[in-house]
Amino acid sequence: MAHHTAEIGVFGGSGFYDCIDDPHELKMNTPYGAPSSPVMLGEIGGRSVAFLPRHGKDHSLPPHMINYRANVWAMKELGVTRIIGPNACGSLQSHIEPGHFVICDQFVDRTSGRKDTFYDGPVTTHVSSADPYCPTMRSIAFETAGRLDITAHPTGTVVVVQGPRFSTRSESRWFASQGWEVINMTQYPECYLARELEMCYCNISLITDHDVGAEGVEPVTNEEVIRVFKENNEKVKNLIYEMIPALPTERPCPCATALEGASF
């Protein structure tokens, strides 16, 4: 029987749906508005899962127009405790190549004007984002990638830009010179909002190409970018299917108690 709860959430679209058991769609609304699309509920390896494409069903929402609060709130309302957030990214470093995955452990926020908190008062709440990604989920993602022969990096910093424009060469060189590995437009505030609701969040950055500033790297063709993008989507699907049954149900990690002592 269809049930409207889920334990694990994935911000990903129809590419993931073909291996879900007992799939059914649920239209939701939240105090922050409607999420990007109806949620697809089902099971993988006996675990209940909710899929939500952050860019909308028909990919009509650019990164700066996504209602991140509605998407994350919808997951919370379903009972989700762990979120997997894969996304396509550029690499800022020459040793991180197209086709590699990076399991980020830090972000740098270069977005502006996004609604990035659930705590607008009257109670003042300051949630730590020192380590914004779930350590348990990160290590399971990395181990699973290894088992599947996917080249993955166990740590990395993603710089999140506002978009929809790409970086100038100077911006990109600046980000690279800081030692940051990955550039993307959707990781913030998505991962932080999950922390505000005490959900675990794990990013998987799928490297599609090198950003404009990466030194010593030849520019790639559009055809090449599309080919890598498609290959990455196949690989991340396998990774997520293998990783979900391996996730522990208990959560001794700090994510689960992020609000303790956060209100003043």
Q: Which residues bind Zn ion (CB under 5 A)?
A: 134, 200, 253, 255
How far is 186 from 202, CA to CA, in rounded Å?
Answer: 13
In DSSP terms, 160 is beta-bridged to 109, 184
Q: How far is the CB of 256 from Zn ion (least distance, A)?
A: 6
Q: How far is the CB of 147 from Zn ion (least distance, A)?
A: 21
Q: How far is the CB of 202 from Zn ion (least distance, A)?
A: 8
- Is 149 an active-site residue? no
Spot the catalytic one: 18, 22, 105, 209.
209
8 Å CB contact between 188 and 63: no
Is the Cβ of residue 96 or residue 204 nearer to Zn ion in the bound state? 204
- Is 131 an active-site residue? no
How far is 121 from 211, CA to CA, in rounded Å?
Answer: 39
Is the Cβ of residue 26 or residue 253 nearer to Zn ion in the bound state? 253
Q: Which two tokens stand for residue 69?
A: 């609060």
Query: Which stretch of DSSP H or E encloses residue 130?
Result: none
Is the Cβ of residue 198 or residue 242 nearer to Zn ion in the bound state? 198
Residues noted as catalytic:
209, 211
